[in-house]
């Protein structure tokens, strides 16, 4: 079975303003043109219950939650999302494109938030077992530029994470890069400072559609 025939679970990762939300929509449109069943979802969120939890995570003061409270909320939302949305879609033969998944937890709450990644890995195993993406695309951009983009494009409506200082976002960026270094076969790194068209070509290549 070819990559196009087999339903894939593709996750899009990166810091604030990396352009991943634009690219997930472009890939969705390309799959629709090719008449490949596909759905878009996001984290935190993606299911009714998870979207309610999302409101608690992405809004409010940056000190609203400590890293562990935030992590437990994220994993509660993810469990609901995986069981009620992602797995059923894959079982129907549909591709699933997800804006963030567990790599964001390792990057945000782990590398940037200070939680031990070993503890996060054990939590992952308890909550979703060995379930994970077929391919992950990391949109690599300088954190300062990414934050600048969120302001220029009015993307800060859910602004809790954007309110963290640049040092936090640098740790976040370094965390994503470390995750990509550890799993190069799953995680494809794309230079997000390129044009939208150039990035789209690399995305299509990464998922076997070039």
Looking at residue 145, its pLDDT comes to: 85
Predicted pLDDT of residue 23: 97
pLDDT at 1: 37
3-state secondary structure of 100: coil
The pLDDT assigned to 161 comes to 58
pLDDT tens for residues 94-130?
999 999 999 999 999 999 999 999 999 999 999 999 9
Q: What percent of the chain has pLDDT over 70?
A: 91
More confident residue, 5 or 114: 114
CATH topology (fold) of 9-206: Rossmann fold (3.40.50)
Residues 167-192 have a mean pLDDT of 96
Maximum distance among all Cα pairs of the chain, rounded to whole angstroms: 48
Model pTM score: 0.89
Does residue 27 surpass a pLDDT of 50?
yes
Report yes or no: 153 and 204 within 8 Å, Cβ to Cβ: no
Under the banding of pLDDT at 50, 70 and 90, the label for residue 58 is confident
- Residue 97's contacts (CB-CB under 8 Å, 6 or more residues apart) are 10, 12, 24, 27, 28, 38, 39, 40, 41
Find the DSSP H helices in the chain.
Answer: 20-33, 48-58, 67-81, 87-91, 102-105, 117-128, 143-152, 166-182, 196-206
| DSSP code for 164 | S
Residue 28: predicted pLDDT: 98
Which of 42-46, 57-61, 185-189, 192-196 has the weakest average pLDDT? 57-61
Give the model's pLDDT for residue 2. Answer: 45
Is residue 85 over pLDDT 60? yes
Residue with tokens 């033969």: 93
Q: What is the pLDDT of residues 39-51, one digit of tens each?
A: 999 999 999 999 9
Q: Name the residue with higher pLDDT: 47 or 149.
A: 47
Q: How far apart are CA 10 and CA 41, in angstroms?
A: 10
The DSSP string of 14-56 is: ESTTSSHHHHHHHHHHHHHHTT--EEEEESS-SSHHHHHHHHH
Mean pLDDT taken over the chain: 91
**Do residues 58 and 155 make contact, with C-beta atoms less than 8 angstroms apart?**
no
**Angle at CA of residue 26, ends 23 and 32, nearest 5°:** 145
The tokens for 170 are 């640098």
């Amino acid at each position: 079975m070819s990559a196009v025939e087999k339903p894939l679970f593709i996750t899009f990762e990166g810091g604030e303003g990396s352009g991943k939300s634009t690219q997930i929509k472009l890939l969705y449109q390309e799959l629709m043109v090719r008449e490949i069943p596909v759905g878009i979802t996001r984290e935190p969120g993606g299911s009714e219950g998870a979207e309610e939890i999302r409101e608690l995570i992405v809004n409010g003061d940056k000190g609203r939650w400590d890293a562990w409270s935030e992590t437990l909320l994220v994993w509660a939302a993810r469990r609901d999302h995986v069981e009620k949305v992602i797995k059923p879609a894959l079982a129907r033969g549909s591709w699933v494109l997800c804006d963030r998944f567990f790599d964001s937890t390792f990057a945000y709450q782990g590398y940037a938030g200070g939680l031990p990644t070993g503890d996060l890995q054990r939590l992952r195993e308890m909550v979703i077992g060995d379930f994970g993406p077929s391919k992950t695309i990391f949109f690599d951009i300088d954190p300062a530029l990414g934050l600048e983009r969120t302001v220029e494009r009015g993307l800060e409506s859910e602004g809790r994470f954007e309110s963290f200082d640049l040092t936090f976002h640098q740790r976040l960026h370094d965390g994503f890069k470390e995750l990509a270094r550890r799993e190069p076969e799953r995680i494809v790194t794309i230079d997000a400072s390129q044009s939208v068209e150039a990035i789209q070509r690399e995305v299509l290549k990464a998922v076997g559609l070039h």
